[in-house]
Amino acid sequence: MSEPNGAADAKTKKPKKGQKKFAIGAAIIVGAIGYLMYAGVQASSVYYFTVDEVLSMNSTEKKMALRMEGKVKPGSIEKDMTSLKLSFKIIDDSMKSIPVYYQGTVPDMFQDDIDVVVEGKFSSDGRFVANRLLTSCPSKYEAAEELQKSL
């Protein structure tokens, strides 16, 4: 049995030039979006360094912006409420410390011995100048979990 001419022609037709251009353009757009998503995830998933890791960095590494985690050293906080300037020392478990300078709104939970994450970079005179200061309060959650376990 023979096929109608239209069916045979449909099988042997080649894609038009416009369809090829569209497919290539779509592939480029999908590739670009994929790359931007990957780059965005990489940038936002930058982990933080500990105080010890930062202290072991060479001078070239310290010139880059970085994120550092530690605790606020008790008794090291100095605030100037009029200019919103803040200085304190951030410590790790080994009690090594780095002085941090920050200017801006201080989080409500900021106090001695609280976990903090600071983002910034070292200035030319060796000070860590933070442009972002984040606090966390794990003790609230730990206390609630312990209370719930005891019930």
> Is residue 121 within a helix (H) or strand (E), and if so which, with residue range?
strand 115-122
Report the C-alpha gap between 79 and 76 in whole angstroms: 10
Q: Is residue 147 part of a domain?
A: no
Q: In this structure, are 63 and 113 located in the same domain?
A: yes
Q: Which of 123, 63, 113 shows the shortest CA–CA distance to 92?
A: 113
Q: In this structure, are 39 and 72 located in the same domain?
A: no
Q: Which of 48, 103, 100, 106 shows the shortest CA–CA distance to 76?
A: 100
Total structural domains within the chain: 2
Q: Is residue 121 part of a domain?
A: yes
Q: In this structure, are 94 and 80 located in the same domain?
A: yes
> What confidence tier does 61 reach under pLDDT thresholds 50, 70, 90?
confident
Q: Which domain holds residue 127?
A: 49-141
**The token pair that represents 91 in the structure block:** 């410590």
For residue 132, is pLDDT > 60?
Answer: yes
> Is residue 149 within a helix (H) or strand (E), and if so which, with residue range?
helix 138-150
For residue 117, is pLDDT > 70?
Answer: yes
Q: Which of 121, 119, 115 shows the shortest CA–CA distance to 132?
A: 119
10-60 pLDDT, tens digit per residue, is 556 666 777 888 889 999 999 999 888 887 766 566 578 999 999 999 888
Q: Is residue 92 part of a domain?
A: yes
